[in-house]
């Protein structure tokens, strides 16, 4: 849950103030200290026993998982905790609120990275399909085709017909019975629901809650949107409450509509960079190519704020009418884009959104995901 829980207790007995001679107290007894962040469970590698004015503090210096994810962050935290063992430095960390603030300032912030099981990986990236690739079919048929192509994750889009037997539209207005049908098919096919979009987020709390309630019920981790520009304060409130990410999607540049700016990664960054860490981008590589934006440049601009990607390898650069090709054979430069993703710490999910050969594209998507399975990350070209 967010915010992280930190619990400090006043001991019944006064302890000696020598940190070097004190055994570490049992966290389950009179000195519990707990820190959790969404999806992260820190296993202590070193503990420091510290004494304040009228109560004792227990701090976790670092953990194996933190070190594995970020050596710099792990070492920084260790050094800072060593500093905190000095009582002169500890003197101003004697209240719960200040201590929590100190932990957060050390970089133990909410992690917006995808928390997906290893079973959703295709090679070195988590990957699957945007169901829009199969927009001519029903949701149930689309799930079967995604599994047949080798996909592991699914991003739904609003308005697709549920099944041949039930032509009702599957979206955030769907009934619990409709949702259960989809959940059952996901489970049977070994697929993981990850995203929902592109869906409009207006500055209307009831509407947004309906969308995020649907996402929560379906186990979706990110809502993909091109939000109304007056809705970001409300979105920030909602993502904090639901602990579900919002990713801004980019369609191609519109020469006749200068008000549309989500094609520009600089603009997308400008609207999320000072907001909650759960607000970021869905990187549509093909639409950047259609807009004349090099995906590698855009990925580096949005580093740390990419939660999802619609992957397309197109026939031409800068042509809005360019169409999909098998990954690795077009002008998107997929290898460089994937290396840039890895450079920024993003390992998917990558969602194939294949908008060509609509009726027979399962084989094309299979080839794309097979290419991905064999792809090996190398240092991105500078």
- Tens of pLDDT, residues 25-74: 333 333 333 333 333 433 333 333 333 333 333 333 334 334 344 433 44
For the record, the structure tokens of 250 come out as 């980019």
At residue 46, the pLDDT reads 34
pLDDT band at 379 (very low <50, low <70, confident <90, very high): low
The predicted model gives 267-288 an average pLDDT of: 98
Q: How confident is the model at residue 164 (pLDDT cuts 50, 70, 90)?
A: very high
325 three-state secondary structure = strand
The answer to whether 30 touches 3, Cβ cutoff 8 Å, is no
- For domain 118-374, the CATH superfamily is Divalent-metal-dependent TIM barrel enzymes (3.20.20.150)
CB 25 within 8 Å of CB 58: yes
Give alpha helix (H) positions in the chain: 64-69, 71-84, 87-90, 96-105, 139-149, 176-189, 205-218, 232-242, 265-272, 285-290, 295-301, 334-343, 362-374
Q: What values do phi and psi take at 68, rounded to 5? A: -65, -40
Residue 184 falls in which region: left (phi positive, over 0), alpha (psi -120 to 50) or beta: alpha
State the first-to-last Cα distance of the chain, in angstroms, to the nearest integer: 38
Mean per-residue pLDDT of the chain: 80
- For the cut 90, the answer to whether the pLDDT of residue 163 exceeds it is yes
Of the listed ranges 69-78, 246-255, 299-308, the least confidently predicted one is 69-78
268 and 248 Cβ atoms separated by less than 8 Å: yes
pLDDT at 253 over 60: yes
Query: CA geometry: angle at 40 spanning 225 and 299, to 5°?
Result: 40
Residues 222, 195: contact at Cβ < 8 Å? yes
Query: Looking only at Cα atoms, what is the longest distance across the chain?
Result: 75
Q: Residue 250, Cβ neighbours under 10 Å: how many? A: 29
pLDDT band at 180 (very low <50, low <70, confident <90, very high): very high
Domain boundaries in the chain? 1-111, 118-374
Average pLDDT over every residue of 323-328? 98
Q: What is the pLDDT of residue 115?
A: 80
pLDDT at 120: 98
pLDDT per residue as tens digits for the range 77-126: 444 444 444 434 434 334 444 443 433 333 334 444 558 999 999 999 99
Q: Would you state the torsion angle of the CA atoms of residues 171, 177, 181, 183, taken in this order, to the nearest 10 degrees?
A: 70
Closest Cα to residue 278, out of 233, 222, 232?
222
| pTM given for the model | 0.73
β-pair type (56-63, 279-284): unpaired
Contacts of 34 (CB under 8 A, 6+ apart): 5, 6, 7, 27
Check: CB of residue 355 under 8 Å from CB of residue 324.
Answer: yes
Contacts of residue 16, Cβ cutoff 8 Å, sequence gap at least 6: 22
Instruction: Please tell me the number of Cα atoms within 13 Å of 48 on its side-chain side.
Output: 21
Q: Per-residue pLDDT averaged across 213-238, rounded?
A: 98
Q: What is the pLDDT of residue 114?
A: 52
How would residue 3 be classed by pLDDT, with cut points 50, 70 and 90? Answer: low
Average pLDDT over residues 234-238: 98
Average pLDDT for 358-376:
98
Between the alpha carbon of residue 348 and those of residues 38, 79, 122, 158, 364, the distances in Å are 18, 32, 10, 22, 20
305 vs 36, residue with greater confidence: 305
Q: Compute the distance between CA of residue 257 and CA of residue 135 in angstroms, rounded to an integer.
A: 26
Q: How much is the average pLDDT of 219-239?
A: 98
Give, in degrees to the nearest 5, the angle at Cα 170 between 131 and 204: 105
Q: What is the C-alpha to C-alpha distance for residues 84 and 103, in angstroms, rounded to an integer?
A: 11
Question: Between these two residues, 36 and 251, which has the higher pLDDT value?
Answer: 251
Q: Tell me the pLDDT band of 185, cut-offs 50, 70 and 90.
A: very high
């Amino acid at each position: 849950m967010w915010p992280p829980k930190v619990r400090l207790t006043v001991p019944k007995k006064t302890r000696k103030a020598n940190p070097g001679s004190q055994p570490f107290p049992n966290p389950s007894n009179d000195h519990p200290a707990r820190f959790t962040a969404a999806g992260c469970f820190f296993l202590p590698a070193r503990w420091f026993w510290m004494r304040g004015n009228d109560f004792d503090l227990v701090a976790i210096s670092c953990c194996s998982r933190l070190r594995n994810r970020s050596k710099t962050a792990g070492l920084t935290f260790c050094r800072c905790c060593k500093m905190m063992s000095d009582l002169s430095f500890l003197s101003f960390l004697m209240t719960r609120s200040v201590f929590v603030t100190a932990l957060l300032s050390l970089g133990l912030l909410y992690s917006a990275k995808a928390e997906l099981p290893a079973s959703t990986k295709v090679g070195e990236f988590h990957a699957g399909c945007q169901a829009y690739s199969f927009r001519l079919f029903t949701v149930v048929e689309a799930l079967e085709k995604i599994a047949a192509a080798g996909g592991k994750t699914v991003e739904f889009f609003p308005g697709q017909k549920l099944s041949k037997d039930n032509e009702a539209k599957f979206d955030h207005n769907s009934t619990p019975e409709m949702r259960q049908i989809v959940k059952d098919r996901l489970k049977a096919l070994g697929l993981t629901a990850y995203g929902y979009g592109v869906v409009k987020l207006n500055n209307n709390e009831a509407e947004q809650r309906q969308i995020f309630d649907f996402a929560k019920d379906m186990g979706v981790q990110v809502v993909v949107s091109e939000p109304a520009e007056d809705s970001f304060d409300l979105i920030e409130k909602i993502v904090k409450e639901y602990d579900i990410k919002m990713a801004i999607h980019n369609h191609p540049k519109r020469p006749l509509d200068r008000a549309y700016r989500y094609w520009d990664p600089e603009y997308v960054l400008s609207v999320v960079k000072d907001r909650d860490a759960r607000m970021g981008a869905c990187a549509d590589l093909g639409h950047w190519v259609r807009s004349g934006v090099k995906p590698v440049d855009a990925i580096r601009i949005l580093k740390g704020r990419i939660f999802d990607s619609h992957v397309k390898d197109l026939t031409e650069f800068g042509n809005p009418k360019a169409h999909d090709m098998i990954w690795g054979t077009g002008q998107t430069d997929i290898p460089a884009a994937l290396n840039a993703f890895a450079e920024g710490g993003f390992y998917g999910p990558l969602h194939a959104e294949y908008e060509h050969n609509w009726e027979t594209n399962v084989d094309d998507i299979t080839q794309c995901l097979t290419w991905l399975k064999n792809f090996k990350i190398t240092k991105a070209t500078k």
